[in-house]
Amino acid sequence: MRFGIEFVPNMKYFELEYYSKFAEEKGFENVWITDHYNNRNVYSMLTLLAIKTDRMRVGAGVANPFTMHPAVIASAIGTVNEISGGRAVLGIAAGDRVTFDRIGIEWKKPLKRLKEAVEIIKLLHSGKSVKFDGEFFKTNGAKLDFKCGECPIYIGAQGPKMLQLAAVMGDGVLINASHPEDFEEAGKILRANLIADKDFDIAAYASFSIDRDGDRAKNAAKIVVAFIAAGSPDIIFERHGIEIEKVEKVKNALNAAFTKGDWKSVHESVDDELIDVFSISGTPDDIVERIAKLSKAGVTQVVAGSPIGPRKKDSIKLIGDRIIPEFRDS
Ligand code: F42
């Protein structure tokens, strides 16, 4: 099992550098930086981490083919690959509809668009001159004028067709989920589409919260869990036997929080069942037990995502001291 950590660049660059270096010291092998226009820029932050870290893979988690042309993505992550000495990873996915709405980008045919983008990026990274005539992208002898080397491409995927695309075109997949049953289902699709012996990393890109006090850990995960539950499709609730009324309550509480700032009700609307399904939360023992189940379900990388824990540094330390050693050779 590999361990990765996700940071949202909503913190100052020196804080991101500090936490990332600390995570590297504690045994994390990957750092993933999220990409949303309203946060600090992902490639600027990856450049910083490429310079300031030594061993970790530094990844965009995730880019999208709507806000940047694939040739520009290829150049941006290729530059990070060069600076980091070959440690860059490109996570790429459909992009976040809600943030696109705010900047007037239409979210049309994300699957087809992503497929074309990944094809172009791979060709450019292989050093070729690319003539591509797709539905969304056309290139006419596009070529990168520097040798950046190829970097692994991970596709962010939840839906069945995206999972299929990830298996066929990716070196790995970033699945926004935390529960073993969700990975068993995803694993069926991935296995059906993976060619034999392909080295493929299945990452649980999960909301994660660890503390010696289990209640405190769970409490810290509640707001993130509320957002994930509110944005999940019905099939997930059916799979886990979650009553729709419970989810409606969470959605209403979130709406009230946006209009009236009432975040206490959001907290109250999230119970242990939702925390269990939509996050990896609890004491170190709880988390070791959950990761063992995820490993059985086919997960090969756990990415500790927001909130990581009630106190970020303590939680990173706990993961490094208590969790990673348990899975070092698995
Ligand atoms: N989004 C961001 O914007 N920034 C991030 O930093 C970010 C991080 C991240 C990390 C992991 C992860 O898994 C996702 C992450 N996301 C992030 C969200 C990501 O960008 C996507 O919004 C999310 O992964 C999309 O979920 P999905 O895989 O379920 O794909 C959607 C598009 C979907 O509906 N998929 C369907 C499926 O079955 O997989 C396919 C739908 C389809 O076939 N569409 C056709 C097409 O060509 O697109 C068109 C069909 C028609 O009728 O037009």
Phi and psi at residue 177, to the nearest 5°: -155, 165
Task: Give the count of beta carbons closer than 10 Å to the beta carbon of residue 200.
Answer: 18
* Closest C-alpha to ligand 1, atom 19: 95
- Alpha-carbon distances of 42 from 45, 205, 287, 298, rounded to whole Å: 5, 17, 29, 29
88, 50 contact by CB (below 8 A):
yes
217, 283 contact by CB (below 8 A):
yes
Ligand 1 centroid vs 161 CA: distance in angstroms?
Answer: 9
The pLDDT score that the predictor gives to residue 196 is 86
> Which one of 109, 111, 163 would you pick to mutate in the ligand 1 pocket, going by the greatest count of ligand atoms within 8 A of its CB?
111
The CA distance from 175 to 163, in Å, is: 9
* Closest C-alpha to ligand 1, atom 46: 109
* Closest C-alpha to ligand 1, atom 12: 156
116, 86 contact by CB (below 8 A):
no
Residue 116 burial (10 A CB sphere; 0-12, 13-18, 19+):
buried
105, 67 contact by CB (below 8 A):
yes
Q: What is the mean pLDDT of residues 47-71?
A: 98
Q: In which residue are the tokens 């990070």 written?
A: 80
Query: Domains plus CATH for the chain?
Result: 2-213+280-329 (3.20.20.30)
134-179 per-position pLDDT tens digit: 999 999 999 999 999 889 999 999 999 999 999 999 999 999 999 9
Q: What is the mean pLDDT of residues 2-6?
A: 98
Q: Does pLDDT of 252 surpass 70?
A: yes
149, 81 contact by CB (below 8 A):
yes
Residues 6+ apart with CB under 8 A from 272: 218
The pLDDT score that the predictor gives to residue 98 is 84
Pocket of ligand 1 (CB under 6 A): 34-36, 61-62, 64, 93-96, 109-112, 156-162, 174-176, 205
Beta bridge partners of 48: none
190-216 per-position pLDDT tens digit: 999 999 889 999 999 999 999 999 999
* Closest C-alpha to ligand 1, atom 8: 62
pLDDT-derived band at 329 (thresholds 50, 70, 90) equals: confident
Q: Does pLDDT of 302 surpass 90?
A: yes
Ligand 1 centroid vs 7 CA: distance in angstroms?
Answer: 20
- Within the chain, strands assigned E span 2-7, 30-33, 57-63, 88-92, 130-133, 138-142, 153-156, 172-175, 201-210, 280-282, 301-308
> Which one of 41, 113, 162 would you pick to mutate in the ligand 1 pocket, going by the greatest count of ligand atoms within 8 A of its CB?
162
202, 172 contact by CB (below 8 A):
yes
Q: How far apart are the first and last CA of the chain?
A: 5
264-291 per-position pLDDT tens digit: 999 999 999 999 999 999 999 999 999 9
Residue 269 burial (10 A CB sphere; 0-12, 13-18, 19+):
buried
Ligand 1 centroid vs 87 CA: distance in angstroms?
Answer: 25
The pLDDT score that the predictor gives to residue 330 is 65
The CA distance from 59 to 22, in Å, is: 17
Per-residue DSSP letter, 171: S
The CA distance from 52 to 55, in Å, is: 10
Higher pLDDT, 98 or 180: 180
The pLDDT score that the predictor gives to residue 62 is 96
> Which one of 62, 89, 208 would you pick to mutate in the ligand 1 pocket, going by the greatest count of ligand atoms within 8 A of its CB?
62
The pLDDT score that the predictor gives to residue 97 is 85
Task: Give the count of beta carbons closer than 10 Å to the beta carbon of residue 47.
Answer: 18
Ligand 1 centroid vs 266 CA: distance in angstroms?
Answer: 26
